[in-house]
Amino acid sequence: MIDLKALSIRKIHNAIKSGGISVKEVVEDCIKEINSKNKDLNVYLEVFSDVLAQAREAQKKFDEGEATLLTGIPLAIKDNILIEGRTATAGSKILSGFISPYDSTVIAKLKKERAVFLGRANMDEFAMGSSTENSAFGPTKNPHDQKRVAGGSSGGSAAAVSGGLAFAALGSDTGGSVRQPASFCGVVGLKPTYGAVSRYGLIALGSSLDQIGPMGRCVEDVEILFNAVRGRDALDSTSVETRTEHVSPKTVGIPRKLLSVGGIHPDVEKNFSESLSKLSSMGFKIKDVELPSINYSLPAYYIIMPAEASSNLARYDGVKYGFHVNGNDLLEDYVLSRGGGFGQEPRRRIMLGTYVLSAGYYDAYYSRAVQVRSLIANEFAKAFKEVDVIATPTTPTPAFKIGEKANDPLSMYLADIFTVPANIANLPALTVPSGFSKSSDNSSELPLGLQFIGRPFDERSLFEVGKKFLGE
């Protein structure tokens, strides 16, 4: 029997094509893992009832000689990416009962490939969080240690790939929500350049920051999924079609200022140093780069993102769809529906965002944060004249224990310190597994990740350096 967990998407495709295995068997392998593990891990909020019917349709494409690399590949889809006729809650009570009337663009593209959608993956409510503990449906647990978080906000997607409950997955990344859980769960994750992938049909958090991104077991799997969903879309005016000149990356930049902020776990520092030595031994030149304002990325992000979130979440009023509580008048309907439907973190961010957009504070906070954003983007552009990619740890710590940071939002926000700059500067970033850290009680090995940040629309360089680093 073929060990499917050891195979890449390309190898699975070739095995199905040669008749060594069927799409049904590939899908059933995932279903078996879901039935065995999902109750404990809480990866899927819903497993679709027509998965085997999807597998039959995919098999027909193989039988007719029309299969692509993603035909028949079982995917987990984050619960904020719309699929026509399916429930979508974005991990929130306020969208209970909402069924999408249309497909998001990424789903429409994957349907043409006849990929198999296994189900809706758990997430932090409206993608607000770094642990999936903010889901209205309970936290997702890390397959490497069930006492620990899977990361967030795409924790369900990362845990699905890591635990064998899917072969690849789609998540979304606003400030690190693909890369951080991918790092915590020991898989590969990509945050594409802003505009490289259509956001049409993605439930919005921060419209100038959000990007749909793929996760997989290896860099090539992520590359295959990215190439399938990328490209300009007439339904998303911020999406673009680009052709960039590609030169193989030779120089890796290190932003030392960002690494001196403190609070970095000793194992993360050690692993990062070892990763740089490995890159150097492979022929990459390691060079320090100056990014003077990069430490302001996180403060700027936590002004811009709540401001955009407060605007985007204003539409959830309990009137048109989803959760509703009857009050004595319309205003009380709004207050009771929003108060009961939104969890603690969305309420916190809505209030913060409304405050920074209010009269007298807009210029003091929001406008200045946008100026800082431009400054950081310009500094990255200057740095990329000297280096081809920039490397950092993906996260400052390994996966933390469930509940450890629940009452300390600031500590939770600091988990995004290495991932947020790429969103602020609209750059692509890839995380790859780089080693392990022993848990404090030595009961488990916790994955660590190495992040590569690239020039706008130069995902190809990230894939190239990532493959070399992992020996693909």
Percent of the chain with pLDDT over 90: 89
Which of the 8 DSSP states describes residue 145?
E
Single-letter amino acid, residue 10 = R
Catalytic (active site) residue 131 = no
* Cβ atoms of 55 and 24 closer than 8 Å: yes
Task: Give the Cα separation of 82 and 61 in Å (integer).
Answer: 24
**Mean predicted confidence (pLDDT) in 435-453:** 90
Q: Which pLDDT belongs to residue 408? A: 79
Of 37, 78, 109, 191, catalytic: 78
Q: Which pLDDT belongs to residue 245? A: 74
* Cβ atoms of 170 and 113 closer than 8 Å: no
DSSP string covering 203-262: PPS-TTT-EEEEEESSHHHHHHHHHHHBS-BTTBTT------------EEEE-HHHHTSS
- 389-410 pLDDT, tens per residue? 999 999 999 999 999 987 777 7
Q: Which pLDDT belongs to residue 9? A: 97
Catalytic (active site) residue 130 = no
CB contact burial 279-294 (16+ within 10 A = b; e otherwise): beeeebeeeebebebb
Domains, the chain, ranges and CATH?
A: 1-472 (3.90.1300.10)
pTM, two decimal places? 0.96
Q: Which pLDDT belongs to residue 75? A: 98
Structure tokens at 396: 């400052």
Task: Give the Cα separation of 68 and 12 in Å (integer).
Answer: 12
- 230-263 pLDDT, tens per residue? 999 999 999 998 777 788 999 999 999 888 887 8
Q: Where are the beta strands (DSSP E) in 303-398?
A: 389-393
**For residue 15, is pLDDT > 70?**
yes
Q: Which pLDDT belongs to residue 366? A: 94
Catalytic (active site) residue 270 = no
**Mean predicted confidence (pLDDT) in 202-209:** 97
Task: Give the Cα separation of 120 and 128 in Å (integer).
Answer: 17
- Answer whether the bond into residue 153 is a cis peptide, omega within 30°: yes
Q: Which pLDDT belongs to residue 2? A: 66
Of 8, 130, 153, 162, catalytic: 153
- Specify the residue for token string 């019917």: 53
Indicate the pLDDT class of residue 345, thresholds 50, 70 and 90: very high
Element (H, E) at 172: strand 168-173
**Mean predicted confidence (pLDDT) in 406-418:** 82
Q: Which pLDDT belongs to residue 63? A: 96
Q: Which pLDDT belongs to residue 444? A: 83
- 171-183 pLDDT, tens per residue? 999 999 999 999 9
Of 92, 130, 157, 177, catalytic: 177
Beta bridge partners of 214: 170
Output 410 or 376, whichever has higher pLDDT: 376
How many residues belong to the chain?
472
**For residue 1, is pLDDT > 60?**
no
- 127-161 pLDDT, tens per residue? 999 999 999 999 999 999 999 999 999 999 999 99
**For residue 371, is pLDDT > 70?**
yes
Mean model confidence pLDDT for the chain: 95
**For residue 103, is pLDDT > 90?**
yes
Q: Which pLDDT belongs to residue 260? A: 86
Task: Give the Cα separation of 199 and 189 in Å (integer).
Answer: 18
**For residue 354, is pLDDT > 90?**
yes
**Mean predicted confidence (pLDDT) in 100-110:** 98
Output 360 or 373, whichever has higher pLDDT: 373
Q: Which pLDDT belongs to residue 414? A: 81
